[in-house]
């Protein structure tokens, strides 16, 4: 088997992946090979607008299924904001040393972390169940259980029941975290991949925005409906999304892995519009070819296989990319309401500022689509970490001065700036990267491992952040910026040396690059042998 010609003399040549035109060992279908290379070439030549015209149905289905993540963003902000919600604190908390009702830091941590524990369980279950039964059936089952778990939160008589309800609620939410981004990455061409995967982050921000708006509207209420209505609103999403998932086509990549080629062709046709220059058979041949290529270089498709051979590097990148989301200080964004309350704002005004914060997050995510088009994932990710580190140290230095209303205002305002930078760089780009780094056969399981890395770290941050900010605990307030700024710099160092640029690459090409151990900074220029030319810097290609 011929060896790969690489773009750099430093790249070691391997004989595990063949150049274009040859047939894989044990894969004797020359027609499928030719069709696969033709499909890869067409995807390279396809601009974002051309892809949008060809794949409007895929975009619509992906956007609909991604809406499931709105529930996670909503629930996360709901619980974090309830800590500054008068009616909630009177029901489930007690008197604090400052004369106001509130939850002890231990119960705040328990509520925050119970959902993360549930998500860890749900994610591992998803990695097995979705691969066996398919994405659609798994998602529909989770949507049905979500409806039932909301009852526990709605009727919770005490904080202990709330903790149990959040634990159970976290199980389906964990499934939504990975299944939506995996589906988005598999139903669209290369030119649309970044947009649809980062849309998941936009849905998460939408959930935050809705939760803040609901809480602002009810903050003046003093009866039980002030905190029960926000829980009840979660019943709005599952039913319409369930109907949409039932009608949606299954992922053609999953169908190919189950040796259902004809069903995969039908799925691709349902994802695209009729076009004389497009062949669903060619696209499925590309999927079949990529799957066969990975079978030649992988021993299996279990969780343990994620840590073997070249997949170890891919798993490391995916896990660390998502870990950075937790380690870069993003947890502070959920506590901006607390800073504004300490600045002297009324409760309603504090929630108004939080509403503005999440609106800024929406603008930031839209901005990321433009930035990724011109700068790519790696540049945006590394540059975002640099700016976030500076902001966090600014917050820390502000807090050195004696505590005043003006300083709380300054801290809260810097968190608004932090939110925009985060949601235009680290936040959305992460979803694109974690779906692109794994091989297709191990994608679901690798994304599960990556998200659970994030969740485990969130267990830690979910414990220490309440203690950092609680008046009866450490009371660090803005000084916590020094701690998170230091971690942000460590994340920056890792990203600079280990994070490659997948922009414009098909999954088959990424397989070749990883199998041949191409160095991180050589990814944009390395040749794979799967296309006639490298279309670098093509405008509109993401």
Residue 541 confidence (pLDDT) above 90: no
Query: 404 vs 387, which has greater pLDDT?
Result: 387
pLDDT category of residue 298 using cuts at 50, 70 and 90: low
**Residue 331: is it exposed, middle or buried by C-beta count within 10 angstroms (0-12/13-18/19+)?**
buried
pLDDT tens column, 74-89: 887 788 778 777 788 8
CA–CA separation, 303 and 307 (whole Å): 8
Does residue 469 register a pLDDT over 90? no
Average pLDDT over residues 432-440: 92
Q: What is the pLDDT of residues 484-513, one digit of tens each?
A: 999 999 999 999 999 999 988 889 889 989
Judged against a pLDDT cut of 90, whether residue 7 lies above it is answered with: no
Residue 66 neighbours by CB under 8 Å, 6+ apart: 180, 181, 183, 184, 196, 199, 200, 203
Q: What is the pLDDT of residue 471?
A: 66
Residue 222, classified by CB atoms within 10 Å of its CB into exposed (0-12), middle (13-18) or buried (19+), is exposed
Range picked from 18-32, 75-89, 221-235, 465-479 for highest mean pLDDT: 221-235
Which residues, listed in sequence order, are joined to residue 153 by a DSSP beta bridge? none
Strand partners, 102: 94
Q: What angle do CA 458, 394, 82 make, to 5 degrees?
A: 40
Please say whether the dihedral angle defined by the alpha carbons of residues 359, 362, 366 and 369, taken in this order, is positive or negative.
positive
Instruction: Answer yes or no: same fold for 47-248 and 306-525.
Output: yes
pLDDT tens-digit series, residues 185-227: 999 998 899 899 999 888 988 888 888 788 888 877 878 888 8
- For the chain, the average pLDDT equals 84
Q: Would you place residue 344 in the very low, low, confident or very high pLDDT band (cuts 50, 70, 90)?
A: low
Contact, 327 vs 464, CB < 8 A? no
Taking the domain 47-248, which CATH number applies? 1.20.1250.20
Q: Which CATH superfamily includes the segment(s) 306-525?
A: MFS general substrate transporter like domains (1.20.1250.20)
User: Is 50 exceeded by the pLDDT of residue 350?
Assistant: yes
| 3 state SS of 94 | strand
Answer whether residue 14 shows pLDDT above 50: no
pLDDT-based confidence at residue 542 (cuts at 50, 70, 90) = low
Q: How far is CA 34 from CA 24, 40, 190, 289, in A?
A: 12, 10, 19, 10
pLDDT tens per residue, range 412-434: 788 889 999 999 999 999 999 99
Domain boundaries in the chain?
47-248, 306-525
Q: Give the burial class of 101: count Cβ atoms within 10 A of its Cβ; 0-12 exposed, 13-18 middle, 19 or more buried.
A: middle
Q: What is the pLDDT of residue 38?
A: 87
Q: Of all residues in the chain, what percent carry a pLDDT higher than 90?
A: 44
For residues 197 and 321, what is the distance between their CA atoms, to the nearest angstrom? Answer: 14
This prediction's pTM: 0.82
Question: How far, in Å, CA of 146 to CA of 140, rounded?
Answer: 10
């Amino acid at each position: 088997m011929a060896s790969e010609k690489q773009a750099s003399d430093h790249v070691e040549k391997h004989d595990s992946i063949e150049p274009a035109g040859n047939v894989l060992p044990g894969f004797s279908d020359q027609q499928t090979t030719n069709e696969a290379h033709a499909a890869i070439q067409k995807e390279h030549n396809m601009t974002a607008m051309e892809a949008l015209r060809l794949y409007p149905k895929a975009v619509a289905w992906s956007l609909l299924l991604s809406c499931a993540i709105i529930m996670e963003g909503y629930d996360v902000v709901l619980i974090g904001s309830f800590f500054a919600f008068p009616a909630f604190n009177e029901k489930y908390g007690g008197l604090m040393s400052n004369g106001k009702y509130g939850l002890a830091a231990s119960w705040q941590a328990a509520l925050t972390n119970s959902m993360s524990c549930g998500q860890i369980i749900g994610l591992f279950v998803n990695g097995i169940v979705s691969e066996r039964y398919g994405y659609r059936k798994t998602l529909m089952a989770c949507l049905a259980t979500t409806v039932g778990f909301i009852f526990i939160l709605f009727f919770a008589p005490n904080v202990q029941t709330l903790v149990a309800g959040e634990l159970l609620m976290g199980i389906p939410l964990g499934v939504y975290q990975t299944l939506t981004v995996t589906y988005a990455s598999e139903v669209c061409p290369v030119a649309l991949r970044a947009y649809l995967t980062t849309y998941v982050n936009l849905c998460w921000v939408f959930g935050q925005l809705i939760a803040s708006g609901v809480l602002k509207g009810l903050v003046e209420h003093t009866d039980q409906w002030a905190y029960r209505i926000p829980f009840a609103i979660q019943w709005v999403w599952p039913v319409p999304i369930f109907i949409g998932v039932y009608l949606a086509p299954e992922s053609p990549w999953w169908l190919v892995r189950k040796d259902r080629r004809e069903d995969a062709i039908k799925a691709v046709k349902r994802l695209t519009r009729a076009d004389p220059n497009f062949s669903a058979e060619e696209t499925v041949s590309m999927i079949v070819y990529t799957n066969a290529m990975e079978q030649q270089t992988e021993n299996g498709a279990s969780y343990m296989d994620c840590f073997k051979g070249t997949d170890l590097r891919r798993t490391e990148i995916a896990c660390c990319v998502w870990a950075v989301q937790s380690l870069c200080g993003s947890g502070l964004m959920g506590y901006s309401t607390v800073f504004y309350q300490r600045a002297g704002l009324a409760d309603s005004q504090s929630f108004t500022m939080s509403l503005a914060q999440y609106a800024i997050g929406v603008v930031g995510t839209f901005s990321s689509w433009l930035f990724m088009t011109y700068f790519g994932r790696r540049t945006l990710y590394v540059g975002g970490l640099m700016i976030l580190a500076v902001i966090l140290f600014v917050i820390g230095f502000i807090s050195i001065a004696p505590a005043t209303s003006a300083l709380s205002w300054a801290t809260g305002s810097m968190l608004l700036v932090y939110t925009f930078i985060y949601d235009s760089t680290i936040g959305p780009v992460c979803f694109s990267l974690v779906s692109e780094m794994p091989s297709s056969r191990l994608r679901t399981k690798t994304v599960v491992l990556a998200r659970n890395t994030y969740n485990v770290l969130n267990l830690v941050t979910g414990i220490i952040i309440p203690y950092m900010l609680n008046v009866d605990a450490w009371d660090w307030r803005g000084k916590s910026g020094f701690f998170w700024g230091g971690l942000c710099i460590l994340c920056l160092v890792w990203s600079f040396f280990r994070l490659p640029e997948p922009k414009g690459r098909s999954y088959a090409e990424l397989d070749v690059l990883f199998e041949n151990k191409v160095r991180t900074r050589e990814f944009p220029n390395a040749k794979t042998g799967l296309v006639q030319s490298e279309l670098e810097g093509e405008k509109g290609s993401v």
